[in-house]
Amino acid sequence: MNVLKITTTPIKLSMSSQKARLESHLPEPELGIIRTPSRLNMKSENIKVNIDTSAARDSLGFKTARSLNRDAAVFGKQAAADATGRYAQMGNQMMQIQKGVTIPEIVQNQMMAQTKVTTGFEFLPAVGPDISWDPGSLAIDYTPSRIEFDPQPDMQEAVYVPGELNINVEQYPKVEIEYVGEPMYVPPSASPEYEERDGLS
């Protein structure tokens, strides 16, 4: 007969775990753009026309002070040369008086020579204007646009999170022993239910 009752309570554990992980943060890249606009430089010089009408005006009689001085000098030289020639011719004629030439005739011939009139036609202005020109020019300096990139990379940040394992004891083990039989008396006669049997003390 089984008089012992044994009750056992097992241990109760709970476990929680977390995997290891690598947390990374990748920031958005920044890119700087520098743009230089195009540039166009143009330099032009117009055509230049030079018109000199001094010669045409001189032929019309509208002379400058310089032209008047120049012409007066030329005319003076020519008048002096003509007068020298006339005086030389008159002297030569006077040297021939013995040939029947008289002084009044010589003077009359000189006066007649000086009053000689020459008729002619002349178109005015006798000289046209002097026209010259300098050609125009165009210089073009073009600088194309330019784009420069200035990347600013950021380092990737990484954080390592180690794994975890947690063990919790929710219930400790135990053993309970219970006696379920009748009590045992020593001596047996101490039991209140003891009855003497015949022939036995």
Q: What is the DSSP string of 101-114?
A: --HHHHHHHHHHHH
How many Cα atoms occupy the beta-carbon half-sphere of 156 within 13 Å?
5
In three-state secondary structure terms, 130 is: strand
* pLDDT (0 to 100) of residue 201: 45
Specify whether the CB–CB gap between 156 and 29 falls below 8 A.
no
Specify whether the CB–CB gap between 6 and 111 falls below 8 A.
no
Least confident span in 24-28, 94-98, 130-134? 94-98
- ∠ CA(89), CA(91), CA(93), 5° rounding? 70
Give the alpha-carbon dihedral of 48, 54, 55, 56, to 10 degrees: 90
Tokens of 191: 């039991």
| For range 41-45, the mean pLDDT | 89
* pLDDT (0 to 100) of residue 128: 77
Distance of alpha carbon 196 from alpha carbon 193, whole angstroms: 10
Specify whether the CB–CB gap between 169 and 11 falls below 8 A.
yes
Whether pLDDT at 52 is above 50? yes
* pLDDT (0 to 100) of residue 200: 47
* Range among 25-34, 164-173, 185-194 rated most confident: 164-173
Whether pLDDT at 125 is above 80? no
* pLDDT (0 to 100) of residue 83: 74
* pLDDT (0 to 100) of residue 95: 67
For the chain, the average pLDDT equals 78
